[in-house]
A = this chain, B = another copy of it.
Amino acid sequence: MVKWYEKPGSEPDVVISSRIRLARNLSNYPFYGHMTEEQMNRLAGDVKASLENINLGDNSLSFLSGDELTGYRGMSLVENHIVSPDFIQDGTGRMLVLSQDESISIMVNEEDHIRIQVMTSGLDLDSALEVASKIDDAIDASLNYAFDSQLGFLTACPSNLGTGLRASVMLHIPALEKAGSLNRLSGTLSKLGLTMRGTYGEGTKAVGSLYQISNQITLGISEEQAIKNLREIVSQIVEKEREAQKALVTSARFQDRIYRCFGTLKYAKMISTEEFFELISDFQIGISRGILTGSEFQRLSPERFNCLLFQIGGATLCQKEGRDLTAEERDELRAKIVQEALKE
């Protein structure tokens, strides 16, 4: 089954992915951190039972206990934004529900009892919300959510209180970054109830000019309004990034850089994660803005290289090979995977 990130998405030159996350808690259990292991296990069992009859077409769910998420298996899930780094630190009483295409993941007993996450390719928050709501409804139908008619959904952290919704998009905005526009953008987003984060969430640095933008406000606003806000702002950023890229590629030096990135991606025998993100970022500008001319570049699409972002993490490569790889082996395998993508 193809993974969610292998499906074509909207605005692929700038928007990598869209994500909806719902934070939910059950009224008949203490909040996470105040439960016994027995309670956590029972809660996980309740969630599993509530989802057993859900119809997701051919996209079946797997139920993984926290103990199974150790080593590269767990790290790979972090690399691909399926679970939080905290979630795999201690597997006790935890459960991960994961769909076959990896678009749906439910962390049970993370900061909240239940965190439903749905990812889609490109800019498509509505589809993600639709699937998340379906799962939300299925759980709600058999379990009792902690809900207050005034406040909405009760959450472990007050920042999620209300809708419990976090809608976010992962953007590739190298030209705005190079132009030094991100500080001002971040300030503007803040005033609009949105926030900009690094590639791997709060407090992380951006790698490969990848930034997450999400709604900050969950109280006194509907899910639909929050998503509409975010979508509108993102559409504006997409246009600004395209304009900035067009300005950037007028430079002969930058065009040279794009071709060099291609030469290295095509021929290097070892590529580190860090270098991969640097190379692919500028290379994608070249593809998106039509800088690379000549027959060998005609088949290249930004979608294909967006997929690579989810295929080249160190732990993800170990997961693919089914064993721990040395740093050198990972760099070699990463180069091979990139080169296979270039040959397609």
**Could you tell me which A residues sit within 8 Å of B by CB distance?**
252-253, 255-256, 259-260, 262-270, 328, 332
- How many copies the complex holds: the figure is 2
Chain B residues within an 8 Å CB radius of A328:
252
- A260 and B256 contact, CB distance less than 8 A: no
Instruction: State how many angstroms separate the Cβ of A25 from the closest Cβ of chain B.
Output: 51
Chain B residues near A256 (CB-CB < 8 A): 268-270
What is the distance, in angstroms, from A95's C-beta to the closest C-beta of chain B?
41
Cβ–Cβ contact A259 & B268, under 8 A = yes
The chain B residue sitting closest to A332, CB to CB, is B252
Q: With a CB–CB cut-off of 8 A, which chain B residues contact A269?
A: 252, 255-256, 259
Beyond A256-B270, A259-B269, A263-B266, 6 additional pairs, beta carbon < 8 A: A252-B328, A256-B268, A260-B268, A263-B263, A263-B264, A264-B264
In the docked arrangement, what's the CA distance between A256 and B268, Å? 6
**Nearest Cβ in chain B — how far from A220, in angstroms?**
54
In the complex, chain B residues whose CB is within 8 Å of the CB of A332: 252
Cα–Cα distance between A123 and B270 once the two chains are bound (Å):
36
Give 16 CB contacts A-B under 8 Å.
Answer: A252-B270, A252-B328, A255-B269, A256-B268, A259-B267, A259-B268, A259-B269, A260-B263, A260-B268, A262-B263, A262-B267, A263-B264, A263-B265, A263-B266, A263-B268, A264-B264
Q: Which residue of chain B is the closest to A255 with respect to CB atoms?
A: B269
- Tell me the minimal C-beta distance from A279 to chain B in angstroms: 11
Bound CA span A262–B269, Å: 12
- Residues in chain B near residue A253, CB distance under 8 A: 270
> Which of chain B's residues have a CB closer than 8 A to the CB of A268?
256, 259-260, 263
Q: What is the chain B residue whose CB lies nearest that of A292? A: B267
Q: Which residue of B lies closest to A331 (CB)?
A: B256
Q: How far is the CB of A133 from chain B (nearest CB, A)?
A: 48
Q: State how many angstroms separate the Cβ of A249 from the closest Cβ of chain B.
A: 12
A260 contacts across to B, CB distance below 8 A: 263-264, 267-268
For A252, the chain B residues whose CB sits under 8 A away are 269-270, 328, 332
In whole angstroms, what is the CA distance A31 to B26 when docked? 104
